[in-house]
């Protein structure tokens, strides 16, 4: 019998396995964009974040998704992000068009967005070189009051605990991949060639 790699046990592990390549390419593009080289570049990074988190605002406030994931609406970092624009006296971009997807697919988008809080620990540290912090300019990258790990584990537990149909599982995976794809396209739109390494 041919040996095969067992599929990961939990939903979030499967989302991670299906999207880790996309994550790594986004991570590489962000670093190539040098968003912490100076405040001008950081301002552009804020625009990328605004496009992404702004387009997810509707999902964070969606009634069915809040039913599935109680407390979801408190997790959006969009208000903190707008605070960062104000701190730095940057003009606020228009709120982006909302992502319109079915609930199962939205789980993948939210997985991508919430998981980005983990890598944000690294990004948050880098903002120190621009003299920014949790109360000025880097609010949206700051840790959740209960800590990043605890908060992430609680989100993962909620997502893993949902009962989904087989086709909904596939939609969640497609959602995570689409979310990384969108993030990549925002990076390219804002930084152009500069984030292509």
The stretch among 26-34, 36-44, 74-82, 159-167 that binds ligand HEM (CB under 6 A) is 26-34
* 141 near ligand HEM (CB under 6 A): no
CA-to-CA separations, 40 to 35, 46, 47, 113, 140, in angstroms, rounded: 8, 10, 11, 24, 17
- Within residues 62-121, the interface with ligand HEM by CB under 6 A covers 111-112, 115-116, 118-119
CA dihedral 158, 57, 81, 27 (to 10 degrees): 60
Residue of 11, 18, 30, 142 interacting with ligand HEM (CB under 6 A)? 30
Q: How many CB atoms lie within 10 A of CB 179?
A: 28
Tokens of 122: 């690294």
The values of phi and psi at residue 91, to 5°, are -65, 140
Tell me the closest approach of the beta carbon of residue 164 to ligand HEM, in angstroms. 17
Q: Which DSSP letter does residue 133 get?
A: B
The stretch among 19-27, 68-76, 94-102, 131-139 that binds ligand HEM (CB under 6 A) is 19-27
Q: Which residues bind ligand HEM (CB under 6 A)?
A: 12, 16, 23, 26-27, 30-31, 111-112, 115-116, 118-119, 122, 180, 183
């Amino acid at each position: 019998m041919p040996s095969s790699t067992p599929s990961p046990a939990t939903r979030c592990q499967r989302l991670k396995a299906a999207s880790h390549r996309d994550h790594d390419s986004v991570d590489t593009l962000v670093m190539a964009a040098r968003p912490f080289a100076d405040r001008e570049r950081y301002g552009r990074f804020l625009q990328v974040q605004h496009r992404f988190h702004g387009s997810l605002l509707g999902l964070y406030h969606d009634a069915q998704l809040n039913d599935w994931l109680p407390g979801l609406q408190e997790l959006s970092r969009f208000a903190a992000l707008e605070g960062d624009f104000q701190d730095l006296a940057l003009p606020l971009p228009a709120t982006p068009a909302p992502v319109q997807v079915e609930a199962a697919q939205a789980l993948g988008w939210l997985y991508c967005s919430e998981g980005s809080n983990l890598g944000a620990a690294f990004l948050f540290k880098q903002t120190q070189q621009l003299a920014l912090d949790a109360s000025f300019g880097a609010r949206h990258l700051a840790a959740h009051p209960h800590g990043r790990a605890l908060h992430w584990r609680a989100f993962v537990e909620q997502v893993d605990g949902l009962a989904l149909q087989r086709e909904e599982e596939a939609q969640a995976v497609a959602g995570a991949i689409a979310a990384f794809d969108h993030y990549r396209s925002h990076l390219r739109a804002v930084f152009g060639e500069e984030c292509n390494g």
